[in-house]
Amino acid sequence: MNETIDLLKTRRSVAPHKLGGPEPTPEEIETLLTIAARVPDHGRLFPWRFIVIAGEARRRIGEAIGRAFQADNPSASAETLEFERNRLARAPLVIAVVSRAAPHVKIPDWEQVMSAGAACMSLVVAANAMGYATSWITEWYAFDRRVLEALGLAPGERIAGFVHIGQPMEAPLERPRPNLSDIVTRL
């Protein structure tokens, strides 16, 4: 129990380019996905799904990111294009959390979206508990229809996060956190 509290009290993101191998094993990935799928979910709708982007697939999706970027920025330098193509290949493993929130007679869209956020956070906490570090990011390509199609997202599905997972190459510095007195109301 204290280990969990310590982890949550000290967890920090590590930038994708500072995440290296070894990557999680297939068994560890199975555990991560099982934990991510065990989040509060009003109405048992499973309003999320996961896309495991590992190995060569990281560059394959990266090509789609590069194509979309080049189409919108025809004068981009070769260096910039390579940066875009390499976006998902910086960390050894990326798990995309997809929100499948859809109109429902009883469960508001907002609650379904929050459940996808909870799946992201469970994934982050579980990976950190296994000794990995993570970065939960979206970036422009999470909102780009051409990239979403390359990922196989149906119309209406959205990226809640690309959770990058790997071994930290360096320890992250602490960053300021809010004062509880500024954000907590006690009634």
Ligand X SMILES: Cc1cc2nc3c(=O)[nH]c(=O)nc-3n(C[C@H](O)[C@H](O)[C@H](O)COP(=O)(O)O)c2cc1C
Residues that contact ligand X, how many (by CB under 6 A): 7
Which of 45, 137 has the CB closer to ligand X? Answer: 137
How far, in Å, are 42, 67, 69, 71, 72 from residue 146 at the CA level?
A: 31, 9, 10, 11, 11
Q: Does 158 bind ligand X (CB under 6 A)?
A: no
Q: Are strands 48-54 and 133-137 parallel, antiparallel or unpaired?
A: unpaired
Q: Does 161 bind ligand X (CB under 6 A)?
A: yes
Distance of closest approach, residue 3 Cβ to ligand X, in angstroms? 19
Could you tell me which stretch among 63-71, 82-90, 131-139, 149-157 binds ligand X (CB under 6 A)? 131-139
The size of the chain, in residues, is 187
Distance of alpha carbon 85 from the chain centroid: 18
Q: For 93, list phi and psi in degrees, rounded to 5.
A: -145, 135
Candidate residues 48, 69, 136, 141; the one interacting with ligand X per rule CB under 6 A? 136
Distance of closest approach, residue 106 Cβ to ligand X, in angstroms? 25
CA-to-CA distance for 52 and 69, rounded, in angstroms? 23
Q: Does 139 bind ligand X (CB under 6 A)?
A: yes
Q: Centre a 10 Å sphere on the Cβ of residue 100 and count the other Cβ atoms it contains.
A: 19
Could you tell me which stretch among 61-69, 106-114, 134-142, 150-158 binds ligand X (CB under 6 A)? 134-142
Q: Does 52 bind ligand X (CB under 6 A)?
A: no
Q: Does 12 bind ligand X (CB under 6 A)?
A: yes
Which of 92, 161 has the CB closer to ligand X? Answer: 161
Q: Are 86 and 130 contacting, i.e. CB atoms less than 8 angstroms apart?
A: no
Long-range contacts of 149-153 (CB under 8 A, 24+ apart): 149/64, 150/61, 150/64, 151/51, 151/61, 151/64, 151/96, 152/51, 153/98
Which of 26, 40 has the CB closer to ligand X? Answer: 40
Candidate residues 28, 86, 137, 158; the one interacting with ligand X per rule CB under 6 A? 137
Q: Does 51 bind ligand X (CB under 6 A)?
A: no
CA-to-CA distance for 76 and 13, rounded, in angstroms? 29
Q: For binding to ligand X (CB under 6 A), which residues are involved?
A: 12-13, 136-139, 161
